[in-house]
């Protein structure tokens, strides 16, 4: 353990944390991929363009720079990026337009954005950042 101000500090990340984080992220993203298989294709779009500017800025070298919506790959990249930045994220799969995925991201101190008016949402899933307690 490292010492700061003569106090022992826990190891960061703790043993197994990174592997657990990767596994959780994989399960979450695979759940969206599995749901999307019910449709020929899906359109993914952040709710009210939530967090889109920073994401677009940081994703400018990918296949979808500055796009406000895109395919499943777009949605997965958005969610994975926001998860990596420590955000809460969520997706809602809708039968609207033969396959639509609403995406949203928010920080811990912010209120969760509302889902849009869409009575064809069939499921949603929320990612909560992992908490570490020493």
Q: Model confidence at 3, in pLDDT bands (50, 70, 90)?
A: low
- Per-residue pLDDT, averaged over 30-34, amounts to 97
For 89, other C-beta atoms within 10 Å of its C-beta total 24
**Which tokens belong to 105?**
């991201």
CB 99 within 8 Å of CB 36? yes
Record the pTM: 0.81
Q: Is 15 left (phi over 0), alpha (psi -120 to 50) or beta?
A: beta
Distance of CA 51 to the CA centre of its chain: 11
Predicted pLDDT at 1: 52
Q: Is a pLDDT exceeding 90 seen at residue 31?
A: yes
Q: Model confidence at 67, in pLDDT bands (50, 70, 90)?
A: confident
Query: Which one has a higher pLDDT value, 105 or 49?
Result: 105
Q: Which of 8-22, 24-38, 70-84, 105-119 has the lowest mean pLDDT?
A: 8-22
CB 42 within 8 Å of CB 122? no
Closest alpha carbon to 57 in 67, 48, 45: 67
CB 57 within 8 Å of CB 63? no
Domain map of the chain by residue range? 39-134
Query: Which one has a higher pLDDT value, 106 or 91?
Result: 91
CB 41 within 8 Å of CB 70? no
Q: Which of 16-20, 33-37, 125-129 has the lowest mean pLDDT?
A: 16-20
**Which residue in the block uniquely carries the two structure tokens 């307690």?**
133
């Amino acid at each position: 353990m490292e010492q700061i101000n003569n106090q022992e500090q826990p190891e960061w990340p703790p043993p197994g944390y990174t592997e657990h984080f990767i596994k959780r992220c994989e399960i979450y993203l695979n759940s969206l991929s599995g749901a999307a298989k019910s449709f020929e294709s899906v359109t993914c779009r952040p709710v009210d363009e939530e967090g889109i500017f920073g994401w677009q800025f940081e994703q400018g070298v990918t296949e979808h720079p500055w796009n406000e919506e895109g395919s499943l790959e777009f949605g997965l990249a958005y969610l994975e990026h926001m998860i990596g930045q420590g955000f809460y994220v969520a997706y809602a799969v809708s039968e609207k337009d033969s396959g639509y995925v609403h995406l949203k991201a928010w920080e811990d101190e912010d209120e969760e954005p509302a889902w849009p008016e869409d009575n064809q949402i069939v499921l949603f899933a929320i990612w909560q950042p992992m908490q570490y307690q020493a």
